[in-house]
Amino acid sequence: MNNDVLVVGSVAFDTVENANGKVSRVLGGAASYASICASYFARPSVVAVVGTDFSPKDKAPFLKRGVNLDGLEIREGKTFHWGGCYDKDFNNAVTRFTDLNVFQNFNPVLNERQKNAKAVFLANINPELQLAVLDQVKKPSLVACDTMNYWIASRKKALLEVVKRIDVFFLNEGEARQLTGVYNLIEAGRILLEKGVKYVVIKLGSNGAMLVSKKGIIQLPPYILEHVHDTTGAGDTFGGGFTGYLASLKNWNTLASIKRAMMIGNVMASFTIESFSVDRLAHLTQRDIRKRLNEYTTMLKF
């Protein structure tokens, strides 16, 4: 069975400072977190661009997890580099700099295997590029997409075109309100369903995630951790785990499957936030994941 997952987005360097310290130029980017997470459930391939400063050491976490890097273009110049800091409760990141570098001219071109992927995860990039990817893929059974406030403000028309053509739409609560103009998240989700998407997943940060669909509404809490190290990449991990799990199923399009995918997304995100970068996420075992999923399932029972 084809369980290939195509992940299109940014592979970047992050410089992050929070209450636990500071790291400089560590592996980051939405496609990094999403593909490494998806690798525990399916066979991901990445389409992204990096500079000549991206070393074999930087590739190592992808290779360790069997992520296909045939679509990782190396271009003369520097890799996308983001820097930010977090407040003490880790809910708000303040961007200090965004150096797009070679990512500024990113143009995703797919090879034949990528065009035939069963599932597609469009990470947070310009919606016009997301549309370009959708024009290249053949018949994916699942297309999931993430976005951010910048694209809602600057490329709303293109983003709404994307929404018409996807199955699952990830966005956070602020983005849901910004895109729809309504405060109530269930109402916002229903407005987006009317635009054509089947499932709207609203990421609630430290409050978990909410699903709005015609089949039902679900809200799940996060997996509760005593110590949070860094929340960078948690949302991208959620999307990668969610999409990778659904790609492993014969029929993903049921409410039970979506709920399970949300649980997996929350659990996988809980590993990411235990370290800076992908350090914890890239070194899991299936036993680690099963154990935490069992603990999470027990937590949800009454």
Distance of alpha carbon 232 from its chain centroid, rounded?
Answer: 11
The reported pLDDT for the residue numbered 89 is 78
Q: Which segments in the chain show pLDDT lower than 70?
A: 1-2
CA nearest 122: which of 89, 64, 165, 91? 165
CA–CA separation, 136 and 110 (whole Å): 7
Count how many residues are written for the chain: 302
The reported pLDDT for the residue numbered 205 is 86
Given a contact cutoff of 8 angstroms between Cβ atoms, the answer to whether 244 and 44 are in contact is yes
pLDDT digits (tens, 9 = 90+) for 173-232: 999 999 999 999 999 999 999 999 999 999 998 899 999 999 999 999 999 999 999 999
Distance of alpha carbon 10 from its chain centroid, rounded?
Answer: 10
Domain at 4-300: CATH code: 3.40.1190.20
CB atoms within 10 A of CB 33: 33
CA–CA separation, 232 and 275 (whole Å): 9
CA–CA separation, 163 and 122 (whole Å): 11
pTM of the predicted structure, to 2 decimals? 0.96
CA–CA separation, 298 and 302 (whole Å): 8
For the chain, domain boundaries = 4-300
